[in-house]
Structure 1
């Protein structure tokens, strides 16, 4: 299901899937973990590598839109939804790699390394069959930054979107385990602002709200500050609320068997006219000046060659 997002002010960039699309990034490969077809002792004992990782979130927030926040000094800047950005700097030493990671989030994530798009997900499922994806990434020796934008839309999201609470989990294999695995390595997290729901606006029923974004948007935007992320659920099989050690509550993780959605750059036709100060989706007759303005040329250079330009907020 697709959600349309309306932006009121932004720096226009060419790649819909981030600074670099997956097809443009060498050294990234999807890894298919063996299928798990039985719930069995899931969350009772560790059955797979990702079961050794913990789930993280923003300190002082319970990850639910109907919940509470105890960190009044750092409140969620969005009244309707929750968007956070997780960040971790790590080193690749000569001869190490590739980096193999299992990753998931609740509700959704957008993962990059050094600004290059790696993946989005997870595939939607029930909490008792929560999906994760695995990727192998070859990186040059040196310092790198891995970033995950995670969001919770709640009632403003598609009807197909289920959730337990906001969370992010990543398990790194081998030498990268202690450097990156959530619950072992220290991650930073910060709120992303400038996002609010504006209603269905003639959209298809069941696909969720449209959103108005101010600024660079959640992928390119930065939090006002970062704090250390906190664990909101321990590794699978860790002690839960029951004294006899039954299932760890919450997400039961299963490796997705579905391929990734296609991520391809496209140049969808051409802009023919640009008008300023008009009403959203207004029926109107375009003037000759609006079809020959510099804005038309700027938009076409954006989709044809990737040239960037800035749309000031005051023109809307």
Structure 2
């Protein structure tokens, strides 16, 4: 088998695995419920509650700000959070900022790590060097500390579903957009276009990350091939894996902190897969034997981010 073919297969598998992790992160593994007596986590509070750090966010004369403003403010808190329990408590009080969406995303990520972490096995591997052991241990400790304030009942599926079905969730614009993601694979072009427009105009990196390759993935009308469409060009999946990698780091270009404390990067390290300083380094390592490919991926990702920030939805259609 040619080296090029092997590379494309490896990249395809990498992107498929990322898609699986994204689904697990949003849906969460099966988990036991909780009784009323076990409840020890702040519920969605009354709307007159004020969370520290959210008091000075501007709104328009109608009392409703743009999704973009809400997302930016919530994103800053999400990026900087070292204690998920505190972040969730604050975020739940502000569904109009996308707080329900961000809070449940964080809870599902903690659920996935705490219930499925392979860090213990990775650290016990005889193939690890001292440096690798230290890196894996450090990533696992960071994630444990970040999620450590949560009880199992806090991130249970029952509790997450309770939050998502609350009256407050109806006020969350990002949660509404998240429900539109399924339409990106619709055979109805108008339905896809409407949903794509809302998702991209939000400019929110978590929503874009959840949508993933679906924001650009289409079937070519002439050849029937599946691929990515961007700025009028069609990139078949089997021949242009660089576009898939560009979509992987697109959330970083939209403001998500993709350094070594990024969920994707930290969990990947803690599970013994690879310890890197950022998503960009993960991609650079994958493309190390293909001169110029990393620069191409970064260029496409930045062009995609620019199109989103400028409201150029047509670039993805």
TM norm. shorter chain > 0.5: no
The structure with more helix, counted as a fraction of residues = 2
Q: Which of the pair has more CA radius of gyration?
A: 1
Q: TM-score, normalised by structure 2?
A: 0.28
The structure with more strand, counted as a fraction of residues = 1
Q: TM-score, normalised by structure 1?
A: 0.28
